[in-house]
Amino acid sequence: MSKRPIKAALLQVHSILGLTIALVLALVGVTGAMMSFEDEIVAALNADLLHVEVRSAPMLSPDGLVARLQASGEAGRVSAVTMSSDPAGSARLRFGRDEAGTRPSSLYVDPYDGRVLGAPAGEEFFATVRKLHRWLLIPGDGRGWGRQITGVVAIGLVVMLFSGLVLRWPRHARAIRAWLRPNWSMRGRGFQWSLHSVAGTWVLPIYFLMGLTSLWWSFDWSREAAIWLFSSRTVVAAPMAKQPRAPKAASADSAPLTFDRAWQAFLQEQGSRYATANLTMPNGGSTVIRIRSVPHDAAREGQRDEFRIDAATGRVVSAEIYADKAFGDKVLASMLDIHRGAFLGWPGKLLFMLAAAMMPLFMVTGFLLYLSRRRLRPAKRRVPAGTLVAGE
């Protein structure tokens, strides 16, 4: 069978997909690039809120911080507390959604006396960028249609990468040099094709990783498949929504859940080995608090330990230590770091950021190539050789 019909079909698939999802891809790419160094940017903007004066007085417990804040009348329902083992580090309190469905800005507080230091600058901006990146600002957030749309677009990106690679595959070894270097002497359509295809070849591995890992957040079947493939355990830990529920005997007038019993159990397990620990209240009727802690020697945020502790009894339900995990389980725990290149350190984050920021380039050059090809087709005349490019 001739290769020409196959390549012609792949070109059609590549073009149609590109025209359909290019705008969303460009939007997702730009917003992803903006979030690449979010932690570093937020830390720089709030340098004065991250540190406090070290004192001889003991630090307050999580419940102590919540009580001080609620006594001031400034707080809603606290859903999470981030504690630092650094004597000069501030604590951070996050809040649940109010009756209107909005989530108030988090607050940094002094861990010694609970004094409010301020709300972090940049938090609301990056929260909006994140919603645009993940769900296109479609109502419902992760429960709306935006999650599925970005997932379908990610699948389309993978298909485009495969078709583009086949269309560009060099016929002989001598073509590899031209395959990896744009032809700067060309003009017009030829230069557009060279820039589109060569730049796409360089970023192809990065886009492939981005596209595949993004499915983790878009489709349950993708997450389940990844867990089946990489997890070393026969039974996978259930998500937060399916944690053990409170005993049926608990009445409506029972005391509300608090952090301290789980916090004390965590300290008995970890001691001073943690740098930061984030305590998150459970949803629904569960009594199990999730504590994610980042060890002092962690090279990145994804290398964290995770504990699930019953707030009512102080019993450790589960403890997952990152250093003790098998390779596949480390991959699952590091999915976000892989998606944004953080598993390669800050050079990887920079590389992935630049690649993501290039998405609009492929949208523009792809549209120009499509429009110029449409102009050439109706003419039905001998096309000058300089206007043809490989794969067309």
Do the two domains 47-120 and 233-324 of this chain adopt the same fold?
yes
Rounded CA separation 191/177 (Å): 16
User: Hey, what are 162's tokens?
Assistant: 């495969």
CB 292 within 8 A of CB 304: yes
**pLDDT level of residue 4 (50, 70, 90 thresholds):** confident
| pTM recorded for the entire structure | 0.85
Rounded CA separation 72/93 (Å): 14
47-120 CATH fold? Nuclear Transport Factor 2; Chain: A, (3.10.450)
* % of the chain with per-residue pLDDT over 90: 67
233-324 CATH fold? Nuclear Transport Factor 2; Chain: A, (3.10.450)
pLDDT for residue 238: 40
Average pLDDT of the residues of the chain = 87
pLDDT for residue 245: 46
Note the pLDDT tens digit of each residue in 152-187: 999 999 999 999 988 887 666 556 666 778 878 788
Domain boundaries of the chain, sorted by first residue: 47-120, 233-324
Residue with tokens 């809603």: 76
From the list 203, 214, 151, 201, the residue with the least C-alpha distance to 21 is: 151
269 versus 180: the higher-pLDDT residue is 269
User: Angle at Cα 378 formed by Cα 373 and Cα 381, nearest 5°?
Assistant: 95
Bridging pattern class, strands 116-118 and 305-310: unpaired
**Cβ atoms within 10 Å, residue 324:** 10
Note the pLDDT tens digit of each residue in 229-250: 999 864 444 444 444 444 443 4
- Considering all CA atoms of the chain, what is the largest pairwise distance in Å, rounded to the nearest integer? 87
pLDDT for residue 34: 97
Note the pLDDT tens digit of each residue in 308-358: 999 999 999 999 999 999 999 999 999 999 999 999 999 999 999 999 999
CB 198 within 8 A of CB 180: yes
Rounded CA separation 276/259 (Å): 15
pLDDT for residue 392: 52
Q: Exposed/middle/buried for 366, CB within 10 Å: 0-12, 13-18, 19+?
A: buried
pLDDT for residue 306: 96
